[in-house]
Amino acid sequence: MKQHPILSIKDVSYRYDLRHEDYALSQISLDVKRGEWLTVLGENGSGKSTLARLIVGLAEPEFGTITFNDQTVTQANKSTFWEKVGIVFQNPDNQFIGTTVQDDVAFSLENLNLSYHEMKQRVTNALHQVGMYKLREKDPSQLSGGQKQRVAIAGVLALEPELMIFDEAFIMLDPQSRTRLLKELKLIQKNLGLTIISITHDHNETVFADRLLLLASGQIIDQGDPRTVFTRNRYVQPPFAEQFRRELVQRGISVPDNYMSNDELVEWLCK
Amino acid sequence: MQIKFDQVSADYQLGPIRAKNIIDDVSLQIAPATFTAVIGQTGAGKTSLLKLINGILRPTSGSIQVGEFTLDHSANKATLNQVRSRVGMVFQFPENQLFAETVEADIAFGPKNFNFSAEEVDQSVYRSLERVGLDQSLLKRSPFSLSGGQQRRVALAGVLATKPDILVLDEPGAGLDARGKQEIFALIKKLNQQDRVTVLVVTHDMNDVAIYADHVLLLDQGKVITYQETRAFFSDQDQLTEWNLELPDTLHLQRQIEQRTGINFKQTSLTRTELIDQLIEEKLL
Ligand SMILES: Nc1ncnc2c1ncn2[C@@H]1O[C@H](COP(=O)(O)OP(=O)(O)OP(=O)(O)O)[C@@H](O)[C@H]1O
Ligand SMILES: Nc1ncnc2c1ncn2[C@@H]1O[C@H](COP(=O)(O)OP(=O)(O)OP(=O)(O)O)[C@@H](O)[C@H]1O
Ligand SMILES: [Mg+2]
Ligand SMILES: [Mg+2]
């Protein structure tokens, strides 16, 4: 039997201002499988964050429906999903509630009815995962940009939701920390079946995705595995290896005509 | 304009318990019209260093020379204002910088504040809007009704509109789409080369460092670990390993090829073009 998608978006349209005709999203249809890593790409203003807001019920589609585990998401019932769907917003400053880092992370767990021990365990683990355990007593408002972003990520990790949404949540992390965290998320995804929707402009992050979704002016213009999407959409910046392959082509060097991963490129250059 | 740090220490004063200094005895001279990438791990003090140049954070000891002005513990308001009119700063989450009712008013605020004539204000608003790649139709919109990347561009436009001699930018590429990022960096580079603006850019993206910066400033726990020319910085592999730094994509690829083939390339490639040239020279292409 075919598994039901964890998230199903059907013919969704949305505009911020009902007096105007410009839709931030128009006729979006999309199923996300349980355990899938979907990366959403698109230029500034293409509708990525709007889509995330709709999925978590911060806004409601004007047309169409969004269902999570076969249950319709609305603004009114969004709290039903809060423990199942965790989101990290583009700007972490909008997200802090606690007066210390650890309180802030614990806050997201308050209504889960966990034992004190379990709660503490989860907070500690999450803070270790993002490298913020040492700073657990600090006031979140007095952290550096990257530290704030880590705390916001820890909040979602501690929640252990079924679906995690990251809206450019890694941009202020230093590259090592970013790669380490992405690898860790990949492991959780594989081992525990976590579903991930990641919004990003970072072409190197796309190597973690099972599927890419390409938005432009509020519409889905393509989707598929990274190789296919980057081959079909030449103007979207691909991972570095493919950028390099294309530059070789431009220099008139005869290179295989297909998308190349980093390993394939190194292999070919050293042949 | 030149920037000179003389034994500068700084801290966010928080009650009686004094932690270790956030900026710790930094001495440093940044020549006019240079383009410096400021790098270092989360919490290293990058943002704090930029804030010192702009006078938002005051040194607890030592002094900073910005052009003809001196910023120290007791710098007065007039000095601070003058420094701020010469130093444009774009914050790490620049959307937090926005405040006006319309995009237009937001961008115009700086120039007005620094006594540009009405005509100059208008001119600089339009020009900066165009420079950051935003459409004029956005001028009457509320900045808060824009997407994250659009907000960042508005914040940058507001700073450019004041025509600063020094630009300090905290992760200006973060949150911009690939094209936007490339355009913004090209613009900053142009201001740097043609208008001789002194630029300091905090970035985590080593590709930006390799492609755009002529100097690299590495911070760790508030101390300057090194301040070097970019190519020299990336050429010393032992140092990079010791500092646990990620390589720019191009150089990473070069190192992989060198390892696989046993050939040592003559030069450290900072751009794709340079690497391709060397691959041809080494007969690998
Ligand atoms: N609060 C708002 N009110 C009115 N319009 C908005 C609002 N937020 C976003 N928009 C508009 O909706 C469109 C989509 O914005 P959205 O924030 O979803 O873009 P995005 O793809 O996340 O962009 P970015 O990469 O810049 O974050 C844009 O045209 C934007 O100007
Ligand atoms: N307003 C503040 N009050 C107290 N401490 C602060 C404040 N802002 C930053 N700090 C602390 O000062 C140190 C340096 O912070 P800074 O913001 O300069 O780091 P950064 O290098 O810019 O890091 P990131 O890459 O994460 O932005 C950090 O340990 C941070 O926790
Ligand atoms: Mg967005
Ligand atoms: Mg910072």
pLDDT tens sequence across A13-65? 999 999 999 999 999 999 999 999 999 999 999 999 999 999 999 999 999 99
Specify the residue with its C-alpha closest to ligand 2, atom 28.
B43
Whether pLDDT at A1 is above 70: no
Closest-CA residue of B relative to A271 is: B284
CB contact under 8 A, B175 and A174: no
Domain spanning B3-233, CATH architecture: 3-Layer(aba) Sandwich (3.40)
User: Which residue of B14, B204, B252, B280 is the best one to mutate when testing the A interface, meaning the one whose CB has the most A CBs within 10 A?
Assistant: B204
Q: Please name the helix (run of DSSP H) or strand (run of DSSP E) that holds residue B3, with its range, or none.
A: strand B3-10
To the nearest whole Å, the CA of A115 is away from the closest chain B CA by 33
Does residue A125's CB lie within 6 angstroms of at least one atom of ligand 1?
A: no
Q: Which chain B residues in 31-70 lie under 8 Å from chain A, judged by CB atoms?
A: 40-43, 46-47
Give the predicted TM-score (pTM) of the model.
0.94
pLDDT, position A62: 97
Q: Which part of chain B is CATH 3.40.50.300?
A: 3-233
Per-residue pLDDT of chain B (285 residues), as tens digits, is 999 999 999 998 765 555 678 999 999 999 999 999 999 999 999 999 999 999 999 999 999 999 999 999 999 999 999 999 999 999 998 888 899 999 999 999 999 998 999 999 999 999 999 999 999 999 999 999 999 899 989 999 999 999 999 999 999 999 999 988 998 999 999 999 999 999 999 999 999 999 999 999 999 999 999 999 999 999 999 999 999 998 999 999 999 999 999 999 999 999 999 999 999 999 999
Q: Do the Cβ atoms of A57 and A77 come closer than 8 Å?
A: yes
Does residue B222's CB lie within 6 angstroms of at least one atom of ligand 2?
A: no
Measure Cα distances from B179 to B94, B130, B142, B226 in Å.
Answer: 19, 14, 24, 31
Asked if B176 has any chain A CB less than 8 Å from its own CB, the reply is yes
CA distance A39 to A166: 9
Measure Cα distances from B226 to A146, B40, B223, B233, B254 in Å.
Answer: 22, 11, 9, 9, 24
pLDDT, position B14: 61
**Helix or strand or coil: residue B226?**
strand
How much distance in Å is there from the Cα of B186 to the middle of ligand 2?
A: 28
Tell me how crowded residue B23 is: count the other CB atoms within 10 A of its CB: 24
Could you tell me what percent of chain A has a pLDDT over 70?
Answer: 99
DSSP string covering chain A: -PPPPSEEEEEEEE-S-TTS---SEEEEEEEE-TT-EEEEEE-TTSSHHHHHHHHTTSS--SEEEEEETTEE--TTTGGGGTTTEEEE-S-GGGG---SSHHHHHHHTTGGG---HHHHHHHHHHHHHHTT-GGGTTS-GGGS-HHHHHHHHHHHHHHH--SEEEEESTTTTS-HHHHHHHHHHHHHHHHHH--EEEEE---GGGGGG-SEEEEEETTEEEEEE-HHHHHHH-TTS---HHHHHHHHHHHTT----SS---HHHHHHHHT-
pLDDT, position B17: 57
Sequence-distant (6+) residues with CB within 8 A of A225 are A210, A211, A212
Q: Which residues of A touch B41 (CB under 8 A)?
A: 146, 174, 176-177
pLDDT, position B20: 74
Q: Which ligand 2 atom sits nearest the alpha carbon of residue A147?
A: 26
Q: Which chain B residues in 103-142 lie under 8 Å from chain A, judged by CB atoms?
A: none
Q: Please name the helix (run of DSSP H) or strand (run of DSSP E) that holds residue B278, with its range, or none.
A: helix B272-281
Closest-CA residue of B relative to A238 is: B178
Tell me how crowded residue B251 is: count the other CB atoms within 10 A of its CB: 23
Does residue B221's CB lie within 6 angstroms of at least one atom of ligand 2?
A: no
Please state the φ and ψ torsions of residue A221, each to the nearest 5 degrees. -105, -20
pLDDT tens sequence across A49-107? 999 999 999 999 999 999 999 999 999 998 888 889 999 998 888 777 888 999 999 98
Specify the residue with its C-alpha closest to ligand 2, atom 31.
A143
CB contact under 8 A, B171 and A145: yes
